[in-house]
Structure 1
């Protein structure tokens, strides 16, 4: 018996030790380990400029109406309040890590505003071998209204320098329980230890989803809790005497505990719509609440319930019932005599020109569609619901389509959630074909949505059989370019370039060109390797004319395109390839490669060689194809009567490449880049 007891005791100690390893005790605010101040590099990433020493989070509920008074009816309506605490320390290793000392805390503003409480923040430095602590002052904390429903508390930690540690500890008080804020175990700098605990009364049931590729440890427990509520009755006349009574209620709290350690920074790389889809985090979404002697109150419902909710919402479906204000526009458009797709395009352009987008992304109208139409500005719902209304009045079967933008993350059809959508566009169904439109963007066309909207699928709100619609692959990025070049005996090259773009090629280049003061500045920026020194005669056609190709032509001359040592002349034959370098650099990618659209790029360079030179060496022609023709690169070179013709084509036919396909895609791009940089050698004769 004694031996058995000893074994049990040893096992208890071992289990306790394991729990202590997996779940570290949260350090006290204001007290640090001086060894962390002495650290000069991140223990898990030698290239890091800063890293989280720890990041603790806790979400728990407190019942606020513990004292109810008969003469204060509001005192009984407070109920539970959610407290979200975050406590973290960051080690700043060098000047490039200083930005992490600028902290922003968003607070939701609605019927009841979220509040920030118990904010504490410090900067620690090591001076002459001793710790020096600087406290954040209240006067250095600012609150900024960043949007209609969000304020942001902002502050910069004082006296930050290379080697500093910053510490921030704060609590948010809120009554918005539907979505507990996601907890991120992985961030854009390494994290040594991350710990999140959610303590939830039995009355609230949340769907809990772990996302991302980095492993997170999880354990669950319960504990008994008691709540005492005291009622104070005020005396009222002679019939009601004053009294006080108390009642104690027992309930269970569910404890969800998540930990992760040695978490690398999220490795950002090109062709990723948003890291939100793949970064390691835990997401809580309230499914229902159930109080004693009350029916279940569902929050997460079915897709059919979401459709019904939107159709009956005063800022969505009900806005589409009134059309009197738009009748003048209908009559004006009908005078053109246009029909079908032509009339649809005219209505699309009419809304673009009459209602300016204010930059806000939402699925709900701000006030009324009538007001937005008369004011000439509004959020994306104001703009595109007005387009739906106008198209309906013109006789089209038009419906709103709700979606989640790329930055907002992907929709999970298996988890109905109205809060996952943050945008709305317009759609027309005609002769079995769907036409998608977003009038917030001057460069958007029918079935050519802004890039931010290209995010898998949207949901049609209306009486249609198929509720989900694909938002992708309606039009590719298409670019065809040709360059004719003359090369003289001094290795100077002069030539003329012609670039023709359509689909997303035209859309993206229109955006790029407008960012610069002139097309010449754009060409120089596009030529980031400075291959072209003397560019002139630039002409741009179709910059402001949609539904037509965008065309750029320009002339150039340059003596730097080739090198001329002795009697040999060397040059790379591909001038300004679309991909100058391999966009895929990391060793292993744990998330998919996401192209916004297919790519069809064709480039032809024709060199008229000087008569006193002959071709000595040239790159070999090659054709590379990924399985199932997912991507294809063809490179050909020909010498025809003193003309060296170099042609290349790149086709990417697949939008999403899985992590298991990353290595082959990376190799494909590297072989293409290497081929484009191979030299042509001419010999003097």
Structure 2
């Protein structure tokens, strides 16, 4: 739930904006454009944007109020079949909860250019191929598919959106998931509307960035050329946080009859005070009379503040259910939530704060932006950038963050989607930024043992998974969500070469979450080794190894976000059959990241007494986030891991 001021005063303004509504004259599509089969600046591109143009302006409507009109034009060159999906486009139109105010779209046009029989053919988008539907409570959707698209086609489309929502104009994305030759955006408003424009930086430089004022109307223009595609990479919370784009917000306005401009943008002190007093956030925190008896009993039984806080946490975790809604604000009273025993994330966490205060423990809300919601912009406070409320308390000098939505979580652990780096701690006159860290890492241990069977190249196999910290939580969640049968099938599918596999579970008690969950898979590995010229070749890490590099790109402009510190230990043993000796063993290695940020340890040893070979691989990453200047080191670490996990043990058949 996002709270924004309602600018009724804007509809009393008397102003007429003389804004250009005709599209600029773009270059004509040529035969040479249609004949081209590759984008010279990126030969791997499936398509590229030839022109991406947008124009937004605030103007007076026929009813005397004000709207923002958005005009868009896009032209794309299709190079490969997998880009055909780009011929289908969807326009999402926002409407308020009561559907009293809504965005509308008009003038939807499109065409496809093809080179056929040594000539250019043009096919227009027909009205019957434009579809409108309600997408959700707050969005309508208009979709269309351009006709006759094939490899080499050029497609273009344009449309106009009119919006009554003046406070937060639409963003403009310069960088897309395919390369873009030219991206241009124009935004205009009367000078008594002051819009703040924030540029999110990443690759490339603007070739034009200027604003002009004429007849009390401010027009700004931005132009960028030859923009590379953003490439999805592993270990990033939201790739959209690291693309080149423009954000807008209405910061101030001034109209006739006002003695001074009305400021809408806030300082952080204003932001803190607003949320602490808001009736749906800080204002909800209060005494719950129905909890008074349990509170008195707990205080009499437990004198240690930390243990008392844990009991209150367990009380809510055991007796209340999350409705799966991630919210910043509460929509129901905490008394109602207490009685119904169900609530949103905000309601349950605000209830936890209230009950902690009721037993005499100071607790405060922390507001964050979840991983999928994007980064917080610390330069300017914007409520719309926050979407979740956590709980903070300080006991015995220890800062503790809590979230009570997930019954699988232990004390002090947060859901993965809450691991976002920083949050805003709301305390009267003492609000500040606090790091969002976890005291726990994700620990994964895999133990494998293999024995040669009588039938080549089969190995009798036993594979055991176990987890600690977040990995244990994830195992438990999977079992509760899928059930034993479906989770067993998932593990069987993960090992297609293991026949007659049997899956067993241990340590998954609902009541004893401190137990170590374990999954055991046994069966016959039918592709256990390669036999070449009397030599047996065994993979050092036959399953679950890092055989492909997770960081293939040489450079990375944004952090490696692992969510939490991680440790993976893989041990593997081979029982060598009679009649064979070891011809070759890989060498061990130990690699350490700078400032002891992590390490990789790998060893291969032989036990001659038992005729076994043991392989140990340990990957320890001590940080949850590695910044861009650490990327080279962590990438080099994985260079070694990939090599070692792909190496072979060689056995030689003994001569008689």
Same fold (TM over 0.5): yes
Which one of 56, 78, 90 corresponds to residue 92 of structure 1?
Answer: 78
Change (3 A) 1:353 1:173: farther
Residue 212 (structure 2) pairs with residue 256 (structure 1)? no
| Mapped partners of 2:296, 2:134: distance in 1 | 45
SS of the aligned residue for 2:275 comes to helix
| Mapped partners of 2:543, 2:253: distance in 1 | 60
| Mapped partners of 1:336, 1:523: distance in 2 | 46
SS of the aligned residue for 1:321 comes to coil
CA shift at 1:56, angstroms? 0.9
User: Which blocks of at least 5 consecutive residues in structure 2 are unaligned?
Assistant: 1-22
Residue 290 (structure 2) pairs with residue 302 (structure 1)? no
- Taking structure 2 as the reference length, the TM-score comes to 0.86
Residues 46-445 of structure 1: matches in 2 within 5 Å?
A: 46-64=43-61, 79-100=65-86, 101-109=88-96, 113-126=101-114, 128=117, 129-137=119-127, 140-147=130-137, 150-163=138-151, 164-211=153-200, 212-225=202-215, 252-291=216-255, 293-321=258-286, 323-324=288-289, 340-341=305-306, 344-352=309-317, 355-375=320-340, 377-445=342-410
Residues 613-654 of structure 1: CA deviation (Å, up to 9, x unaligned): 221110001111222122311111111222212111111123
Change (3 A) 1:482 1:418: same
Residues 16-53 of structure 1: CA deviation (Å, up to 9, x unaligned): xxxxxxxxx83479x85565444444343332223322
Residues 462-481 of structure 1: matches in 2 within 5 Å?
A: 462-463=427-428, 465=430, 467-481=432-446
- Taking structure 1 as the reference length, the TM-score comes to 0.82
Residue 501 (structure 2) pairs with residue 535 (structure 1)? yes
CA shift at 1:406, angstroms? 1.3
SS of the aligned residue for 1:141 comes to strand
| Mapped partners of 1:565, 1:443: distance in 2 | 49
Residues 147-204 of structure 1: CA deviation (Å, up to 9, x unaligned): 5xx2131313143532444433233333433332221000112212110011132223
Change (3 A) 1:444 1:104: farther
SS of the aligned residue for 1:619 comes to coil
Residue 519 (structure 2) pairs with residue 519 (structure 1)? no
8 Å Cα contact 2:594-2:633 kept in structure 1: no
| Mapped partners of 1:396, 1:522: distance in 2 | 45
CA shift at 1:458, angstroms? 0.9
User: Which blocks of at least 5 consecutive residues in structure 1 are unaligned?
Assistant: 1-24, 66-74, 226-251
CA shift at 1:404, angstroms? 0.7
Q: Which runs of 4+ in 1 moved over 6 A?
A: 331-339
8 Å Cα contact 1:216-1:258 kept in structure 2: yes
> Which has the greater radius of gyration?
1
Change (3 A) 1:110 1:138: farther
| Mapped partners of 1:99, 1:114: distance in 2 | 28
CA shift at 1:276, angstroms? 2.2
Residues 444-455 of structure 1: matches in 2 within 5 Å?
A: 444-455=409-420
CA shift at 1:98, angstroms? 3.0
Change (3 A) 1:356 1:682: same
CA shift at 1:330, angstroms? 5.5
8 Å Cα contact 1:501-1:549 kept in structure 2: yes
Residue 544 (structure 2) pairs with residue 577 (structure 1)? yes
Residues 110-163 of structure 1: CA deviation (Å, up to 9, x unaligned): 57623213241324143553423232426742232425xx21313131435324
| Mapped partners of 1:86, 1:326: distance in 2 | 56
What's the counterpart of residue 3 of structure 2? none
CA shift at 1:357, angstroms? 3.8
After TM superposition, the structure 1 stretch with the greater mean CA deviation from structure 2, 451-460 or 169-178, is: 169-178
What's the counterpart of residue 41 of structure 2? 44
Residues 547-601 of structure 1: CA deviation (Å, up to 9, x unaligned): 4432222323224111223532110122323534211112432322222111112
SS of the aligned residue for 1:518 comes to helix
| Mapped partners of 1:51, 1:442: distance in 2 | 47
CA shift at 1:465, angstroms? 4.4
| Mapped partners of 1:133, 1:356: distance in 2 | 55
RMSD: 3.1
| Mapped partners of 1:429, 1:394: distance in 2 | 15
8 Å Cα contact 2:208-2:224 kept in structure 1: no
Change (3 A) 1:526 1:402: farther
Residue 632 (structure 2) pairs with residue 679 (structure 1)? no
SS of the aligned residue for 2:489 comes to helix
